[in-house]
Chain A
Amino acid sequence: MILDAKIPDGPLAEKWDRHRFAGKLINPANRRKYTVIVVGSGLAGASAAATLAEHGYQVQVFTMHDSPRRAHSIAAQGGINAAKNYQNDGDSIFRLFYDTIKGGDFRAREANVYRLAQISNSIIDQCVAQGVPFAREYGGSLANRSFGGAQVSRTFYARGQTGQQLLLGAYSALMRQVHLGKVTMHTRREMMDLVVEDGKAKGIVTRDMRTGAISSHAAHAVVLATGGYANVYNLSTNAMSSNVTAVWRAYKRGAFFANPCFVQIHPTCIPVHGDYQSKLTLMSESLRNDGRVWVPGKAGDKRPPGQIPEAERDYYLENKYPGFGNLVPRDVASRNAKEVCDRGRGVGETGLAVYLDFADAINRDGIETIYRRYGNLFQMYAKITDQDPVKQPMMIYPAVHYTMGGLWVDYDLMSTVPGLFVLGEANFSDHGANRLGASALMQGLADGYFILPNTIGAYLSCCTPGAPDGSARIFADTEKEVETQLARLLAVQGKRTVDDIHKELGRLLWDHCGMARNSAGLQQALARIPQIREEFWHNVLIPGAGKELNQSLERAGRLADFLECAELMARDALDRQESCGCHLREESQTEEHEARRDDARYAYVAAWQYRGTGQTPMLHQEPLTFANVTPSQRSYK
């Protein structure tokens, strides 16, 4: 099978226009005869569902939360990028496109990324119109701040709660459509499987998390906006219930999984403090605008930060990368933090932390200004660590944060299963091998508000309007498979808890498929993961029953899929013998120990096809070509 991304012809700047003109439309009066299922209610899902309903489609929305407003998009802190150039500092659509594709280390499609940059401005307009309270200047115009990987100020923000405010904007649009009867909400429903018949997506099977009831839902098209799979590492900045299940089930039903090994490790998180720890907390990258990263110049220096004189501090990012300083992209910041800690210069009890110091910024701008910018982040840090970042520098360390990989989609955001569309973090597009800060919100909303509603019509126009046409038998069969798997899980009655096994998997992946990877480690992971999976299926202990609210069973189902996904990640990482984006492949370094990308051999999207239990998945390559930018070795010096 040859992967066809269906990139439109024509000059880069005209592709999206031409595509929208070429695509088939559905008459407004006919749209109500089509049903679309949207799974997930974060930025991508809520915005897509609301917009599709505005267009007149019948929309069914499923979320595992008690309310669509809980989706993990809500936790995004720093901001959203757009090419408005309000600061008159040299920004443009082309520059946002260039920064994003360069930030992604030239592992994303030009056409997709350019479209994202084009749409970025409309997103800001839309959100302002919804009443999103973005930060403003005294004159009343919108304020911007700068972010890692860019030399312009193009990030719009609402204090440190930008994700919350944008999600509540999309949520309110969704609630309006529920009120108008165009969207039916299904809360506390977890998608358990995708129903595929004749190679096309026909609906989903869900579990009611309150009662355990399994049911089927048919539609003309299914949209997955179910987020990323960073929780495969157990400890990550993702919310506790973020999971891979919906995406994984779709993969096992024929959707290709692209670049599973592309995982972003965020440089500014609160360090790990104990083995009971349930999750890692992100401190927004925007803090690096004013915070200076440093460690003691000498290894083993245990003096408190205040007693280390200026001359004995190593502001390693500023020294090594004078051009970008503390604002180098996330992967560079993370890798350097790990490097200084590995050399024994880390700080804090565990030695696995570096300082992020606001003293200079407070002296320069005053404490009020700094508090207005980061007040809630400072409070959050103080609450967790019991230390005041105004009085002493923060301690930070990298943590797993975001997965650039996801289901493969074409330019229409359709997966390799016709009728299955994938949005937001759940798909693989746009961020390449590394996502820049404030770009996830942009992508989620671009996909949901502006792209999918303009591309789904082309697929739906080929479906017969009226009742969706999946057969009763295929739904019954899929339901049965779901019931069987749940019964199997409950029947194990072993000796280890779900969390215990998840921790083991997480440590293994962090050690061998984290920031730096090598062939021997990945092979070790590939040997070990099936053993942990075996252990899980023979020794997991799940209390309670299936037909009730059972949080252990929910977690077990998700872990079962993580245990399979982890293997695919390691396999993909092993295949990619180049350093690229977020991760360093130890065999592929420059003499200065910087990442060395290998365009001659790896300028492709790795799309994996499931071939059955126990079978090695098949790798398909979508070559990446660059006609408008020249892939350069990234340098932030």
Chain B
Amino acid sequence: MDPSLLPGFLLRRVAKAAIVVLAIVVCNFFLIHAAPGDPASVIAGQSGAADERFIAQLREQFGLDRPLLVQLWIYVKGVLTLDLGFSHRQQVGVATLILERLPATLLLTGAAFLFAVGLGVTLGALAAGRVGRWADSLITVLALTFYATPIFWVGLMLVLVFSVWLEWLPSFGMMTVGADITGLARVPDVAKHLLLPALTLGLFYMAVYARLTRATMLEVADQDFVKTARAKGVPEGQVVRKHVLRNALLPVITFAGIQAGQLIGGSILVETVFAWPGIGRLAFEALLARDYPVLMGVFFVTSVMVVVFNLVTDLLYAVIDPRVEVSG
């Protein structure tokens, strides 16, 4: 890759991405407002008592009494100045709400991602190297099992074994609350809470990576340049690492790029089952409460992340495979 091409490439990609994100913002706005009910009717429904003045007051306070296009214009203007708005329901700025919850989700999905890619690629490579033998069969069966098992069931079983029977790990939450654990002592505490949800979220993807790596490695291993490498006497370990695995990684990276985007939203279920205070639950609860600004804020942040992950994936291609060139 020619480094001098990079700034121009990045600039073009960012400009494109900005347009995409803006289009997403506008689409989201209309989609969300098309859902029946509004925050005022939800609050009235939850309060157990209401009158027309109460609902009118709430609509006015939330700015819902204005025409939809005016509301859209106010929102887009806000987003352009990086102001994500205000949750009137919770009386807190949307950016604050999202920033409070984003680290928890990034920790969970990051851990699940590393676990899935690391173990998946390793197992896939191991299986490919022992094709047809018992290790290969074992790994294939394991991968297929996790691939086919619903994620919530995996979560429940993990909780049953590790929290209820063995009592090794907590079944919910992100940290021990009220035990005055501060500073570095937090790290093992959070790690203990992280283990089960990250495993639950990661196992499915781990299976996908294992199968993908195994399949592509077997395919690459048959190609001429691998035979050449072997013929000229390159040690087998080096052939596998440098020639086979490296070339087999491209599809894995493509898939990882897609998965990284999905992980942010895909963690809603795991966050709910494990009471993990992340952004997925924030979005889901905002949807139920019709808390429009929060929902749109989460969509905005996640769409920006998907765009960023795609960009990183494209750059990674070029790093792994020098034949791939960056271009707008």
Do A and B pair up? The answer is no
